[in-house]
Amino acid sequence: MSAVALPASALPVLYSFRRCPYAMRARLALHASSIAIEHREVVLKNKPAHLLSLSPKGTVPVLWLPGAGGGQVLEQSLDIMLWALGQHDPLGWLPASDAGMADALALIAHNDGPFKQQLDRYKYPNRSGLGSGLADRDLAVVWLHGLDARLQAQPFLAGPCFGLADAAIAPFVRQFAHTDPGWFAVQPWSALANWLAPFEGSSLFEAIMQKHVPWQAPSPVL
């Protein structure tokens, strides 16, 4: 799959952090779109000044599209996905119908809202002042069983082919699964597990999880 050619000076710049699921899904869409980018790996404790000037909230991913007047900044992972796939979608990840898009966006909205909150409280209970995250784990399980039921009826979340919803949600289900792998492995959601494992073992996932040296701004010329 060849990259979409852009002048070197015009390459989109992605500020990313390897293990962040939001950044993972942005990288998945950018890779699937074959759009060449400049990858800038961020050390979260030492965020680049340029990143903060683009997006004062200081979270990743952030995609900067250089251009007149400072260019364009996309600071939400789903916006990055939709932009990339809107430029080039050779794998057909975007739903073909308005109804399909609405369904995918509804799944992603639940993932990014209730499920992400439950995941964070399960994985990091101390950050929420909890002694245990098990109550939130059990709340999240209800939705995961719903995904499992959907995957029993079709190979992927949106139908017969891997697409936008799968790429947007899989990094978060992966994070949930890795919080307690032994417990996750014995749950009665074989379709969900059989959907997640090939994703984690895919060449696509391997490609977007390559390690990058943390980016540093060039030293000013004296």
What confidence tens digit (pLDDT) does each residue in 40-60 have? 999 999 999 999 999 999 999
* Structural domains in the chain, sorted by start: 8-91 (3.40.30.10), 98-205 (1.20.1050.10)
d(C-alpha 136, C-alpha 119), whole Å:
7
Structural tokens at position 175: 């994070």
Q: Can you count the helices (H) and strands (E) in the chain?
A: 10, 4
Predicted local distance difference test score (pLDDT) of residue 218? 81
Average pLDDT of 201-210?
98
pLDDT range class, residue 6, cuts 50, 70, 90: very low
Nearest by Cα to 63 from 47, 46, 43, 83:
83
Q: At what angle do helices 77-87 and 164-179 cross, to 10 degrees?
A: 140
Please tell me whether residue 77 adopts helix, strand or coil conformation: helix
pLDDT digits (tens, 9 = 90+) for 99-143: 999 999 999 999 999 999 999 999 999 999 999 999 999 999 999
pLDDT > 90 fraction of the chain, expressed in percent and rounded: 91
Relative to beta strand 62-65, strand 38-41 is: unpaired
Q: Which long-range contacts (CB under 8 A, 24 or more apart) does 184-191 make?
A: 187/141, 189/144, 189/145, 189/147, 189/148, 190/148, 191/148, 191/149, 191/151, 191/152
Relative to beta strand 13-16, strand 38-41 is: parallel
